[in-house]
């Protein structure tokens, strides 16, 4: 019975994953511990895919309390972060390891 | 699908198969709500404390000291030593916790993870304890909701080895990085396929606070704490629990 439960749960999870849809994609670059662009405008009320390209040699952690996202990005690599759908407004984010320079804001409009 | 992409489903499937084929207790005062997201490369030292008002002769308290590490982008592991006080204080058990992040946060309608935990009590007559369960998170704007179903089973124990069903949940309103607020709850219904009468089940819930302080560079201090009140007679009247986490 327990095994059957696990199989059903696994199938349900697989179906959920297979149902994924494409989202509009936006790009952020991290170089010299600064985000470019530092202001990223995205459509409100739409889920978006944010691709962050860390061009620095050192790792960085994308951190946003407003967006409820924390994501480690190794040096010289990219990471995908899904955000939204967001209500119109400003949502700050930062690079946690270099917070004095790595600052930015997502503007949903 | 390449070998790297195969690694996660194979690891999870192997663990599920192992636990489904082996025979699998309830909320300790220091329990906390697990979240599905994993932070790759993150190291943490964690202190968990909890105390529950007495249900029989003694106040029951528990503490745990843990070290955790994000091994991959989808697997975080943690080793904890736990102490228990009910009259006298004693070392209670070693715990090996594994969290698997199954979906990328925000990608689907909810975020999913899997908790797999093995505990080895000091009292070997209690055998080993397995815990497994799905971790589910859904964000509603600034409100984060978590609900986890946990099944537990002892094996190689001197007492009967039944699969018990429990749960944990929380609501967290993201107000300020240093201060979020919400609620938490824990409970157990008894054997998974033959629930105990409601008055014998343990259910507790109450207000909770959370927060995070960036110290320097990678160093972060996080906390969460709750005061939990009984919802059923079998549960302790009041439980106070807290967790302090140093990430580096």
For B217, nearest residue in chain A (alpha carbons): A97
Name the B residues in 35-94 with CB < 8 Å from any A CB.
Answer: 37, 39-42, 70, 73
| Least confident residue range of A58-62, A68-72, B26-30, B220-224 | B26-30
Identity of the residue in A9, A61, A70 whose CB atom sits nearest the CB atom of B134: A9
**A44 inside domain:** yes
What is the Cα–Cα distance from B117 to A14, expressed in whole angstroms?
A: 23
For A71, nearest residue in chain B (alpha carbons): B39
**A4 inside domain:** no
Using DSSP bridges, classify how beta strands B179-191 and A39-42 pair: parallel, antiparallel or unpaired: unpaired
Predicted pLDDT of residue A6: 53
Mutation for testing the A interface, residue in B37, B107, B178, B215 having most A CBs under 10 Å: B107
Q: DSSP of chain B, one letter per residue?
A: --HHHHHHHHHHHHHHHHHHHS------TT-----S---TT-EEEEEEEEEE--SSSS-EEEEEEEEEEE-SSSEEEEEEEEEEEESEEEEEEEEEEEEEE-S-TTTSSSEEEEEEEEEEESSGGG-EEEEEEEEEEEEETTEEEEEEEEEEEEES-SS----EEEEEEEEEEEEETTEEEEEEEEEEEEETTEEPPGGGSEEEEEEEEEEEEEEETTEEEEEEEEEEEESSTTS-SEEEEEEEEEE-
| Domain at A36, CATH number | 2.60.40.420
**Is A10 in contact with B16 (Cβ distance < 8 A)?**
yes
pLDDT tens for B197-248 read 998 999 999 999 999 999 988 899 999 999 999 999 999 999 999 999 999 9
Cis peptide before A85 (omega within 30 of 0): yes
What is the Cα–Cα distance from B223 to B218, expressed in whole angstroms?
A: 16
**A64 inside domain:** yes
**Among B174, B37, B40, CA closest to B110:** B37
Mutual angle of helices A2-18 and B3-21, in 10-degree steps: 160
**Is B214 in contact with A10 (Cβ distance < 8 A)?**
no
HSE at residue B225, side-chain half, CA atoms within 13 A, is 12
What is the Cα–Cα distance from A105 to A91, expressed in whole angstroms?
A: 5
**A36 inside domain:** yes
Longest CA pairwise span in chain B (Å): 58
> CA angle B186-A84-A80, nearest 5°?
95
Report pTM. Answer: 0.85
Report residues of chain B scoring pLDDT below 50. Answer: 1-4, 15-25
**A70 inside domain:** yes
**A61 inside domain:** yes
Cα separations in angstroms, A30 against A37, A57, B219, B224: 9, 10, 20, 31
**Is B106 in contact with A69 (Cβ distance < 8 A)?**
yes
**Is A66 in contact with B174 (Cβ distance < 8 A)?**
yes
Enumerate domains of chain B plus CATH numbers.
3-247 (2.40.160.40)
**A47 inside domain:** yes
What is the Cα–Cα distance from B244 to A89, expressed in whole angstroms?
A: 32
Contacts of A11 in chain B (CB under 8 A): none
pLDDT tens for A76-109 read 999 999 999 999 999 999 999 999 999 999 999 9
Interface residues of A toward B, Cβ cutoff 8 Å, are 1-3, 6, 9-10, 13, 16-17, 19-20, 47, 59, 61, 65-66, 68-72, 74, 80-84, 87, 96-99
What is the Cα–Cα distance from B73 to B111, expressed in whole angstroms?
A: 15
CA distance B88 to chain A (A): 38
Confidence band for A15, pLDDT divided at 50, 70 and 90: very low
**A79 inside domain:** yes
Predicted pLDDT of residue B166: 96
Cα separations in angstroms, B182 against B163, B170, B187, B230: 31, 7, 18, 17
Mutation for testing the B interface, residue in A56, A67, A68 having most B CBs under 10 Å: A68
**ipTM > 0.85, yes or no:** no
Under 8 Å between Cβ of B112 and B136: yes
- How many domains does chain A contain in total? 1
Predicted pLDDT of residue B216: 86
What is the domain extent for residue A61? 22-108
Mean residue pLDDT of chain A comes to 87
């Amino acid at each position: 019975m327990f095994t059957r439960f696990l199989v059903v749960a696994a199938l349900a999870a697989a179906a959920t994953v297979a149902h994924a849809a494409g989202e509009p994609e936006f790009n952020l670059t991290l170089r010299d511990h600064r985000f470019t662009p530092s202001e990223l405008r995205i459509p409100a009320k739409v889920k978006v895919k944010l691709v962050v390209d860390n061009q620095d040699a050192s790792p960085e952690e994308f951190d946003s309390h407003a967006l409820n996202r924390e994501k480690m990005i190794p040096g010289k690599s990219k990471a995908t972060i899904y955000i939204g759908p967001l209500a119109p407004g400003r949502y700050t984010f930062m690079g946690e390891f270099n917070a004095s320079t790595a600052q930015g804001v997502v503007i949903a409009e | 699908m390449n070998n790297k992409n195969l690694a996660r489903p194979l690891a999870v499937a192997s663990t599920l198969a192992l636990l489904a084929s082996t025979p699998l207790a309830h909320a300790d005062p220091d329990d906390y709500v697990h979240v599905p997201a994993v932070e790759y490369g993150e190291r943490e030292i964690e202190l968990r404390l909890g105390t529950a008002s007495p249900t029989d002769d003694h106040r029951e308290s528990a503490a745990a000291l843990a070290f955790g590490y994000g091994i991959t982008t989808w697997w975080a592991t943690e080793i904890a030593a736990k102490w228990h006080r009910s009259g006298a204080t004693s070392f209670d058990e070693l715990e090996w916790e594994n969290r698997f992040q199954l979906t990328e946060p925000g990608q689907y309608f909810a975020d999913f993870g899997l908790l797999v935990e093995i505990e080895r009590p000091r009292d070997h007559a209690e055998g080993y304890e397995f815990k497994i369960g799905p971790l589910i998170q859904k964000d509603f704007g600034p409100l984060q909701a978590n609900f986890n179903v946990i099944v537990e089973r002892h094996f190689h124990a001197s007492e009967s080895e039944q699969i018990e069903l429990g749960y944990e949940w929380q609501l967290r309103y993201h107000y300020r990085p240093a201060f979020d607020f919400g609620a938490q709850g824990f409970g157990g219904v008894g054997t998974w396929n033959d629930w105990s009468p409601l008055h014998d089940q343990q259910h507790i819930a109450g207000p909770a606070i959370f927060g995070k302080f960036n110290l320097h560079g990678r160093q972060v201090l996080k906390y969460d704490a709750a005061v939990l009140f009984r919802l059923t007679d079998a549960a302790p009247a009041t439980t106070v629990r807290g967790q302090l986490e140093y990430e580096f």
